[in-house]
Amino acid sequence: MHQLTLAEIARGLADKKFSSEELTKVLLARIAQLDPQLNSFISLTEDLALQQAKAADARRANGESGALLGAPIAHKDLFCTQGIRTSCGSKMLDNFKAPYDATVVAKLAAAGAVTLGKTNMDEFAMGSANESSYYGAVKNPWNLEHVPGGSSGGSAAAVAARLLPAATATDTGGSIRQPAAFTNLTGLKPTYGRVSRWGMIAYASSLDQGGPLARTAEDCAILLQGMAGFDANDSTSIDEPVPDYSASLNESLKGLRIGVPKEYFSAGLDPRIAELIHSSIKELEKLGAVIKEISLPNMQHAIPAYYVIAPAEASSNLSRFDGVRFGHRCEDPKNLEDLYKRSRGEGFGPEVQRRIMVGAYALSAGYYDAYYLKAQKIRRLVKNDFMAAFNEVDIILGPTTPNPAWKLGAKNSDPVAAYLEDVYTITANLAGLPGLSMPAGFVDGLPVGVQLLAPYFQEGRLLNVAHQYQLNTDWHTRTPTGF
């Protein structure tokens, strides 16, 4: 049963081949057996899962149906879940139990999804390797000595190891797409504002976006359907109708214009990944797509702009964690200043402290214009590049990452080297565009992803292209040895 996709589970439940309770018990046992070597979960919610599974079976017995009714999933541990620890991978929130459900959690629960637990992540979603978690690094099921990508590495590792069919994740600069590429999954970052951020603990509010991680585009369509939609509680949520994402999966790609930016194939890209990307392009050409070279001239400025904007927003967002209201509080503070300093010093890990310091510096009176304001101007130039490109093409294609997953600890002493791995993904966050990564092959036994970008609210088109590609390739069906 653990090999079934979300779509296959929906059909199996509808045909009464098994119950949600049976499936949930199988997956919980599998997590207990295999997760100790992966460390992909922070919290398991066995009692809640079995309760939700029984309720889903009862709803089906009463004639209800739905693709997510009785389907087991997990949530990245920054989505607030009522009465359950929501830690954000940090000591700061190790003792925090959310008093309410995030909108994404509530919507998926209403659709009948079964929550198996909360997945491990980089602390406060800051990282590209899932090594900055207070609960320890997550390991890549394709090679346990390598990283699974971050910050949604727990969700990615759990789905890739067949511990569950799909999971929620978030993407601030590539944190859905990069782990998807590193673990042979399909991951989708929706348009900014498409999925509610209410109850999703913020890293960088103008960049964060929740989305699905699954093995196939078809499964991502099912999960996104349950997550997307306007939310009056979220001032950045956009009131735009949500289409039926599954309905457009089988549309023809004949005449689809795919742009390939020349800037993507620079010296920083592993030539073996470049070869796999060109193979993907040929596959899509066979399906009727038309390929055109385009240019994104300001892409080279994206990383420095992002690593000013994101830490600046983080330093503002994380100022609420001060040891006074909730979260970690130091022992026996001498005075208020001591309470603030020691609570934050003990509660935040090194990567989070680094980004808070960078962000506070960029926002300081003497440097605001020199750094933050300039970065926002670059952000507009990046967006303008995309708008110009989408006048010529329907989709933009390229690598998701410049290299395959690196070894655990390999970039710990050089954070900038890890930041550079986001070069292809962060532009979509700066511009607010939807992006998808799908499996495209292997280098040295490690998975590689191809990235697709589309105009605003064109998630259906991304899923359609990925689904048609997956009908004609088998990369996404490969399973890591031992899982």
Query: Which residues are part of the catalytic machinery?
Result: 76, 151, 175
Tracing tokens 């503070």 back to the chain, one arrives at: 333
Distance separating alpha carbons of residues 162 and 31, to the nearest angstrom: 9
* Alpha carbon distance 260, 422 (integer Å): 18
Burial of 443 (0-12, 13-18, 19+ CB in 10 A): middle
Q: Tally the C-alpha atoms within 13 A of residue 341's C-alpha that lie toward its C-beta.
A: 6
Rounded CA gap, 431 and 231, in Å?
21
Residue of 406, 404, 483 lying closest to 439 (CA atoms): 404
Distance, CA of 265 to CA of 252 (rounded, Å)? 28
Q: What angle do CA 93, 95, 97 make, to 5 degrees?
A: 90
Strand pairing of 395-399 and 257-261?
parallel
Burial of 341 (0-12, 13-18, 19+ CB in 10 A): middle
- Give the residue carrying structure tokens 């609420």: 320
**Residue 73, phi then psi, degrees to nearest 5:** -140, 180
